[in-house]
Structure 1
Amino acid sequence: MKRSIVRPLLIPLTAVTAGSFLLSYHLFKFAFERVDHVPPTSKEKQKYADAYYDYVDWMKNVPSKTWILNANSPENKVVASFIPADKPSKKTVIIAHGYKGNRETMANYVKMFHEMGFNALVPDDRGHGESSGEYINFGWLDRLDYLRWIKRVIGYVGEDSRILLFGVSMGGATVEMISGENIPSQVKALIADCGYSSIREELTYLLKQQFHLPEYPVEPLVSRINHHVLGFSLDKVSSTHQLAKNKLPILFIHGGRDTYVPVGMAYENYQATKAPKQLWIVKNATHAESFWYNPEAYKDRVMTFLRTYFR
């Protein structure tokens, strides 16, 4: 174990058993520590593997530029790919990837928007891909990087840019968390696919479903460890709190058979915002499967939303 993390936290723990703390510490490492590979997809999505790699090959070969934030600060470096539209365009989509993914895992969405005439900016979030960071922050710190990416797009494409924010899973929650910030007027709309309502609620759900563990004392201890390591408690990481401040049109997408981020969270997020909104539940789709379940229906639904709100 990393002594710099554990020792300062062990000293004040008088009312909690060492066993509970060590369990929480290992869960924190399991959930929050970066991995430098993309974990295997679920069994129900293995059937899409060939199509997925076709999209990845396309993305590797399409003309692109590499953009970097904090290039002179190795511990804070964040990397993205900018893929211009085939014809000069003022439309740009900024795409946020999922938990333990990277920008390459969003290739299918990049191609979808490319075919719609969008430029695409696709970052690796902190703790993922080529970006720095030892730990995953579940979108809370990433949202501030995306505000800088938005400004970078405006500086490159022009003040008359029209920007769409799009994300899936953790990326969907990241878009929802950005929604409560002071966003430049060039951002016109948001699309969040299967984002969680809060990381505390998601962690508590997974503790029960995957590990058969109670919320207390594990979640408060994980939150305490996260505050020590990343500087914020898990209570702050809330899509619903941020969506309550949102003023932009937003499309929520969620699989009806999602057992990783339960579909009830989509309804929570939908109810949280008073802005113009749409909700599409893809009845038979599991987590992050809505595109793969029916790519044409997915594209049509996105285009219908954009025709209404992205003018």
Structure 2
Amino acid sequence: MEKSLLKLSVPLAAVAGGALYVSNKLFNVAFKRVNYVPETSAEKQKYADQYYAYVDWFHKVTHETWYLNEHDPAKRLVATYIPSANPVGKTVIISHGYKGNRETMANYAKMFYEMGFNVLLPDDRAHGDSAGDYINFGWLDRLDYLNWINRTISNNGEQEKILLFGVSMGGATIEMLSGENLPTQVKALIADCGYSSIKEELTYLLKEQYHLPEYPVEPLVSTINKQRLGYYLGDVSSKEQLKKNRRPILFIHGGKDTYVPVHMAYENYRATKAPKQLWIVKNATHAESFWYNPEAYQKRVSSFLKTYF
């Protein structure tokens, strides 16, 4: 009997060790900071010329550099602020996507700038010029955005009207932020292709990209995240935060999104009781809705703002 148990314990230990190794590897791939912007997906390569034209505008337009925790290198956060050429008392704060940075949101910045907004573009923790070793997928970032909101009010005055906007991880960040006690200056939110929860997104990608089961990988990754960042993945959710949201919100999602599946947009939409709109861009892939038809995108955003901002 003892020999049988010993024989059984050896392969079990090997399986457990293998699962832990894979989970730790996945955590580092998904959560550890990288100091470059990964190449965009193949279906969006055709927009490269337009993208770099926006980036060129971003670097040439009059702008300022803002900081949070400026004198603490371990916690310093950096943002670009673009003042409107004709200020009318409104600012949009733009949240970038996974492994992106403020520059990668140049197209949205220019769109809102031409609509008369001041534009604030932060680099999230562990992205761009901001400090941090691990990507937190919006959960801790949402607290930083509260500070960016207050920094905007301090700079622009109590009468400033603020719009929150984000794409992909940035969309989820705005959704997670929606459940916080936001200042009255925040008037509306726009979330483009945000996921319904970190756990659901990770579980989906485990299956679709890595062909791995949820168990035991997700619980192990979640435990590593708890040790590194202080929370289990299952403890945070865009949907749960949206239940507390009271601001008008526009959800945008590509109908052919296979990275953040479109059903998550419907889940997020159903979660909030606030005034809301949902726009599914039928033929767009992940984070492609703007590029697919910039004029239609701006028209839809403008219509939403005309109603609710």
Shorter-chain TM-score bucket reads: over 0.9
User: Partners in 1 of 2:195 and 2:291 — Cα distance?
Assistant: 20
Aligned residues: 298
- Structure 1 residue 122 corresponds to structure 2 residue 102: no
Q: 1:22 to 1:15 in 2, by over 3 A?
A: closer
- Structure 1 residue 305 corresponds to structure 2 residue 308: no
Determine helix, strand or coil for the equivalent of 1:173.
helix
Aligned to 1:149: 148
Equivalence map 1:107-186=2 (5 Å)? 107-186=106-185
RMSD after superposition: 1.2
User: Partners in 2 of 1:163 and 1:235 — Cα distance?
Assistant: 30
Aligned to 2:249: 250
Q: Which structure 2 segments of 5+ residues have no match?
A: 1-11
User: Partners in 2 of 1:104 and 1:16 — Cα distance?
Assistant: 43
Aligned to 1:103: 102
- Compute the displacement of 1:14 (Å): 7.8
8 Å Cα contact 2:96/2:105 also seen in 1: yes
> Which of structures 1 and 2 has the bigger CA Rg?
2
Aligned to 2:7: none
Question: What percentage of residue pairs aligned between the two structures are identical?
Answer: 71
Aligned to 1:213: 212
Aligned to 1:225: 224
User: Partners in 2 of 1:157 and 1:193 — Cα distance?
Assistant: 26
User: Partners in 2 of 1:282 and 1:88 — Cα distance?
Assistant: 32
Determine helix, strand or coil for the equivalent of 1:74.
coil
Equivalence map 1:53-132=2 (5 Å)? 53-132=52-131
User: Partners in 2 of 1:87 and 1:270 — Cα distance?
Assistant: 34
Residue deviations 1:130-162 (CA, integer Å, cap 9, x gap): 000011000000000000000000011100010
Aligned to 1:7: none
- Compute the displacement of 1:16 (Å): 7.0
- Compute the displacement of 1:73 (Å): 1.3
Amino acid of the structure 2 residue aligned with 1:179: S
Aligned to 1:285: 284
Amino acid of the structure 1 residue aligned with 2:132: G
User: Partners in 2 of 1:265 and 1:206 — Cα distance?
Assistant: 13
Aligned to 1:31: 30
Determine helix, strand or coil for the equivalent of 1:284.
coil
Determine helix, strand or coil for the equivalent of 1:75.
coil
8 Å Cα contact 2:87/2:117 also seen in 1: no
Determine helix, strand or coil for the equivalent of 1:93.
strand
User: Partners in 1 of 2:183 and 2:13 — Cα distance?
Assistant: 48
TM-score, reference length from structure 2: 0.95
Runs of 4+ with deviation above 6 angstroms: 13-16
TM-score, reference length from structure 1: 0.95
User: Partners in 2 of 1:14 and 1:230 — Cα distance?
Assistant: 27
